[in-house]
Structures are given as structure tokens and as C-alpha cells.
């Protein structure tokens, strides 16, 4: 072998080694990110996750600085006194008119509709803990609790089945004047207008621009922030952009002004807004819930049981607080370990039995109206094992069973076959709710079980039960109730 040939070979090998080293470094950076921060490999995104941890919520923003400033300006406006003082509508009911926004894109809107129906089970499940979370906002709860239209199991059944049927009409039909979805939106907006005016006359709050935006989060926010928790994945380009556009348009049609609309110009901006709303509103609100939260949330879930046997109050309340990252409500070993690490950090060498105020683990709430109660204290030893976690041990056997079933459902839904089957299950539930609510027949009678979405919710004078009544020690469940909960 000649000297020239050897030199060329050595030079080539050296070049290859440099390329390999550089490529390896690039892959390592791509996988691990900056030191101390783990990133999920792109190939694993959307894989089945059984109650994953909270890493997705803590990922850094990828938006440029100018977008960050725009988001902060939006949040300042949304959480301002002006946003609450500004009602959802200020016109007389007879002068109410619906118009499409100038930025409406029919193609993108229909793409959002298709995305919903490809994931209808998962995206509808997002709405259940989302609605529970909405009850924790004091200004929203004040209007609902004083309306007398969802304070009993029956009125809650009628109201919230109608809510889901309204959603279904918006997500199914073309958005054109005279269509079912158009008439449905008009009916809902008219109800908001009348209920808001009635609340103001009774001095029980108002339906404000801020409350509409926070309700918008309740419908879609948790799914945007934590799609793996609901078995959601984008299969076609712009699926999430379409869904974001769809709910932005629907928000506008319901009276939400552009400057308060939670669905921003892009999905990336909307995701960042959702993170801030969760941190500044929902986590602190669910940690220190307002009066009558327990009653209104549990009555809603008990009412929905007539059409969906999986709706169980204890498990869904626990999942809601876990999704909202309320300290102490954990579902995975990773979350238990992470919570203990936070508690050790806050203790900073103090006696382990002294405990940590939960207020040091969450942000101060950005909305007014929460009760002035002493903060919960979390003790390190309580989280040494699952057998000692206070919040989990308070759950009934039926609630723990429902949590286990839910985890299996989400794992199953993350597969193509599971998505097909559970989407079919959701469609069957909604069909029966609209045309043959057979469980409600036994509970309320045949005639009273049918829901007309174009009529105002029914009123009754059921008294709301204070939170303290729900916090009292409960007697053991009778065996037959435990058996019923296993559906």
C-alpha cells in the first residue's frame, strides 16, 4: 500500500470520526436538552402513557420573546377588573345577533371538527374534569349556585346533558345561519345574556368576559396541556391548529371579544396561555375551593351518572385536582417522589414533622373570592408510601376502582383499535342520551328524561349544601352501593 493511499485513508477516517462525534453530540442534546432537563424522544411522542407525570407542563416555552410579551399582556387583560366588569353581552335579548368573526376560516374550522370526531371519547372526557375545575372559580360558581337550575341531581342532569348536546351540535353541523349549530349557539348566548342580567339584578355576580374565557379553558385547556393523559395525538398536520381555531370561533360566537378569547393566533400561544391560566387560577382555586363547590360539582357528576355510568364523584374530583397539579393529589410513583423532593427542599433541614404549607407550593390566586382559610400542611412522612397518602386514602373503594378502570381505558384508547371502540362507545352514549335515556327513565320518568336544548334549564328550589357537610367523616358505604359503583 502506497504512502499516499495510507494518508488518504487516515484523513478519511479522521473526517468520519469528526462527523460521528458531532452527530452523537447533536443527538444527545436533542434527547437530553440542557443539563438537568430530560426531553422525550420524538419517536415516543403519543405512545400509550398510563397516568404520566407532569413533565409536559414544565417544559420551557419555545415561543420567541415578542410572543411571550404578547401572552403576558393578554393575561394581564384577562385577569384585570375590567375583564370581570365587562359582561358577556350588553345588548337587549331581542337585539342579539350572531356573526362570524372576520378571521373565520371554514377549512380550518372543519378540520377542527374532524379532529374532534377522530378523538371524540378523549376530547369529551377532557370536558368532565374541566367542568369540575370551572366550579372552583368563585365568580362562575356564584352565578351557577344562585340560579337554581343545577342544584339538584335532576336539574343538573337536564342542564349538563343539554350542555353536551349543544357541544355535539357545534362539532357536527356546518356553521351557517339557520343551521342546528347556529340556532344552538344563539340559544346558549341568549341564556347567558338573560342569566347574567338576572344575576346582576340579584347582586349575585355576572357572566363576564373573563368568566367566558375561563370556561373556555374548562372545555379544552386540560387536553391542550396534557394530551397524553387523554390518549390524544395529532395524526394530520394542523389538527390541533384546527381545533384551536374551532373553539376560538365558537368563543367569539358566544360573545367573547378577541382580546379576551383564550384561543390565540396559534396553537403554541394558546398552549402557553393555558399553562398560565392553570398556574394562576385553577391550581390555587382547586386547592382552596369556594363555598358550595363540593355540592355543585358532585351534583353535576351524580346527575351525569344517568347517561354515563363512569361518572363517579370521588374519582373524578381526585383526577381533576391531579390534572390541575394540586399538591398531594398524585397518581404515579414519579409524582410521589417529586412531591417528596419538593417537601424536602421547602423544609431545608427543619424537623420533618413540622410540615410544609401548601401555599408555598402554588402561586397566589389571581382572582378574588376564595375563602380565607388556613393553608393545608403536607407532611413528608405521609408520602413515604401509597398506604399513607392522606388524599388517596380518603377515597372509597368504588372511587379507587374507578381510577384503576380509567387508567386502563386511557391505555386502551392510546391504541388504534381502542380509539375506534371507545369513540363508538361515546357516540352510543350520546345517541342514548338524546333519544333513549333509559336509566333516567327509571330515575325521573320517561317524559321528564328527554332534553330539549332550545329550552331554558328547569328551575327548582333545592338548597345548596355547604362544603363543611361534605368534609365530615362519612359512614361506610353499604355493600349494594359498592357493587353499583363497579359499573
pLDDT in tens, 174-219: 999 999 999 999 999 999 998 888 888 888 889 999 999 999 999 9
- Per-domain residue ranges for the chain? 74-308, 326-363+374-409
Q: What is the pLDDT of residue 288?
A: 95
Question: Is the confidence at residue 77, as pLDDT, over 90?
Answer: yes
Tell me how far apart the alpha carbons of residues 283 and 280 are, in angstroms, rounded to a whole number.
Answer: 7
Question: Which CA distances in Å does 158 have to 3, 402, 433?
Answer: 90, 24, 10
Phi, psi dihedrals of residue 386, rounded to the nearest 5°: -70, -25
Record the cell numbers describing residue 267, joined without a space: 396553537
Beta-ladder partners of 377:
357
Mean residue pLDDT across the chain? 86
Q: What is the pLDDT of residue 278?
A: 98
Question: Is the confidence at residue 230, as pLDDT, over 90?
Answer: yes
Residue 310: Cβ-neighbour burial (10 angstroms; 0-12, 13-18, 19+): middle
Q: What is the pLDDT of residue 481?
A: 65
pLDDT in tens, 394-416: 998 888 988 999 999 999 999 99
pLDDT in tens, 312-341: 889 999 999 999 999 999 999 999 999 999
Q: What is the mean pLDDT of residues 88-110?
A: 90
Q: What is the mean pLDDT of residues 69-97?
A: 90
Q: What is the pLDDT of residue 59?
A: 45
Tell me how far apart the alpha carbons of residues 386 and 25 are, in angstroms, rounded to a whole number.
Answer: 40
pLDDT in tens, 253-307: 999 999 999 999 999 999 999 999 999 999 999 999 999 999 999 999 999 989 9
Q: Supply the pTM of this predicted model.
A: 0.85
Amino acid at each position: 500500500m502506497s504512502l499516499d493511499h495510507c494518508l488518504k485513508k487516515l484523513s478519511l477516517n479522521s473526517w468520519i470520526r469528526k462527523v460521528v462525534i458531532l452527530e452523537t453530540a447533536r443527538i444527545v442534546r436533542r434527547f437530553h436538552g440542557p443539563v438537568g432537563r430530560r426531553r422525550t424522544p420524538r419517536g415516543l411522542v403519543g405512545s400509550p402513557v398510563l397516568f404520566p407525570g407532569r413533565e409536559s407542563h414544565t417544559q420551557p416555552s419555545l415561543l420567541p420573546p415578542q410572543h411571550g410579551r404578547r401572552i403576558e399582556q393578554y393575561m394581564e387583560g384577562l385577569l384585570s377588573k375590567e375583564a370581570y366588569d365587562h359582561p358577556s353581552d350588553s345588548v337587549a335579548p331581542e337585539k342579539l345577533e350572531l356573526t362570524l368573526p372576520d378571521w373565520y376560516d371554514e377549512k380550518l374550522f372543519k378540520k377542527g371538527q374532524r379532529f374532534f370526531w377522530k378523538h371524540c371519547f378523549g376530547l369529551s372526557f377532557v370536558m368532565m374534569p374541566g367542568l369540575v375545575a370551572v366550579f372552583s372559580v368563585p365568580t362562575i360558581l356564584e352565578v351557577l349556585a344562585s340560579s337554581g337550575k343545577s342544584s339538584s341531581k335532576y336539574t343538573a342532569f337536564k342542564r349538563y346533558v343539554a350542555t353536551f348536546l349543544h357541544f355535539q351540535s357545534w362539532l357536527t353541523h356546518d356553521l351557517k345561519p339557520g343551521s342546528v349549530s347556529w340556532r344552538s349557539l344563539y340559544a346558549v348566548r341568549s341564556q347567558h345574556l338573560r342569566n347574567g342580567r338576572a344575576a346582576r339584578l340579584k347582586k349575585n355576580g355576572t357572566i363576564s368576559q373573563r368568566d367566558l374565557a375561563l370556561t373556555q379553558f374548562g372545555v379544552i385547556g386540560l387536553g391542550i396541556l396534557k394530551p397524553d393523559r387523554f390518549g390524544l395525538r395529532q395524526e394530520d398536520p394542523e389538527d390541533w391548529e384546527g381545533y384551536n381555531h374551532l373553539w376560538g370561533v365558537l368563543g367569539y360566537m358566544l360573545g367573547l371579544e378577541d382580546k379576551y378569547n383564550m384561543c390565540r393566533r396559534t396553537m403554541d400561544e394558546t398552549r402557553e396561555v393555558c399553562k398560565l391560566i392553570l398556574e394562576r387560577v385553577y391550581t390555587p382555586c382547586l386547592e382552596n375551593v369556594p363555598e358550595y363547590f363540593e355540592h355543585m360539582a358532585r351534583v353535576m357528576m351524580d346527575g351525569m351518572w344517568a347517561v354515563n355510568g363512569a361518572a363517579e364523584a370521588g374519582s373524578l374530583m381526585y383526577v381533576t385536582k391531579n390534572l390541575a397539579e394540586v399538591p398531594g393529589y398524585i397518581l404515579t410513583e414519579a409524582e410521589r417522589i417529586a412531591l417528596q423532593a419538593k417537601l424536602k427542599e421547602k423544609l431545608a433541614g427543619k424537623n420533618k414533622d413540622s410540615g410544609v404549607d401548601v401555599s408555598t407550593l402554588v402561586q397566589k390566586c389571581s382572582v378574588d373570592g376564595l375563602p380565607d382559610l388556613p393553608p393545608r400542611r403536607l407532611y413528608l412522612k405521609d408520602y413515604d408510601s401509597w398506604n399513607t397518602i392522606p388524599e388517596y386514602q380518603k377515597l372509597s373503594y368504588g372511587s379507587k376502582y374507578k381510577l384503576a378502570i380509567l387508567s386502563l381505558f386511557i391505555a386502551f384508547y392510546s391504541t388504534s383499535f381502542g380509539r375506534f371502540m371507545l369513540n363508538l362507545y361515546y357516540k352510543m352514549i350520546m345517541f342514548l342520551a338524546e333519544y333513549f335515556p333509559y336509566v333516567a327513565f327509571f330515575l325521573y320518568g320517561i317524559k321528564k328524561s328527554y332534553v330539549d336544548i332550545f329550552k331554558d334549564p328547569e328551575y327548582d328550589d333545592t338548597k345548596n349544601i355547604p362544603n363543611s357537610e361534605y368534609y365530615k367523616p362519612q359512614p361506610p358505604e353499604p355493600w349494594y352501593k359498592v357493587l353499583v359503583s363497579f359499573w
